Amino acid sequence: MADDDRPEDPGVGRRGLVSWLACGGAAALGVALGAPAVVFVTSPLRDAKTGGARWIKTIPESALAANAARKVTIVGEERDAWTVRKDVELGSVWLVRRQGAVVAFSAVCPHLGCAVAHEAGPSPGSLDGARFACPCHTSAFDMDGKRREGPAPRGLDELATKIEGGFVWVDFRRFRIGVTEKAELG
């Protein structure tokens, strides 16, 4: 008798069905167990990228002389996907007091990320002739943060400030370097 003429073994059909159901069940179980795991793993990442103000207390307002710039270190909480570390140096900003207002600029050069320095002008107590300068590739910025020379693709990144309880607070953020638009890092 030719193989094709043999009646189908009913046991083979049942085994195939059982095997198919077992595979399907395992796949469903995998999805059921895997879905919560994905949420658990990705949720801290989403939290770390949440925007919103991040106010950091810096120096007393009285410590900032009129028409002067002062560099301050920003210390705060550092969050990554799974951990929170307190009192971490997050970066630094330049504070400038001008006409009664306090302005803050990121100290990170928007070209390739070097730390910009401040160069005082010829007259003490005046911002005339003063500027910010980057030592890496000679970009320079005026006291309003505008780019004046060098390869930096944009001016210094300004940060929001407020005075509260006699202290200068800065809404600290980081921005992409090497691009013309001011774009906050997530």
Residue numbers at the binding site for ligand FES (CB under 6 A)? 109, 111-114, 134, 136-137, 139, 150-152
Least Å from the CB of residue 134 to ligand FES = 3
Is residue 53 a contact partner of residue 162, using CB atoms and an 8 Å limit? no
Q: Does residue 133 contact residue 140 with C-beta atoms inside 8 Å?
A: yes
**Whole-number Å distance between alpha carbons of 131 and 139:** 11
Distance of closest approach, residue 178 Cβ to ligand FES, in angstroms: 9
Cα(45)–Cα(93) distance, rounded to whole angstroms?
26
Q: Which is nearer to ligand FES, 139 or 161 (CB)?
A: 139
The answer to whether the beta carbons of residues 93 and 108 sit under 8 Å apart is no
Distance of CA 134 to the CA centre of its chain: 22
Closer by beta carbon to ligand FES, 72 or else 108? 108
In the DSSP assignment, the letter for residue 114 is P
What is the smallest separation between the CB atom of 174 and ligand FES, expressed in angstroms?
A: 15
- Whole-number minimum distance, CB 153 to ligand FES, in Å? 10
Tell me whether residue 56 or residue 108 sits nearer to ligand FES (CB atom). Answer: 108
* Nearer to ligand FES among residue 47 and residue 149 (C-beta): 149
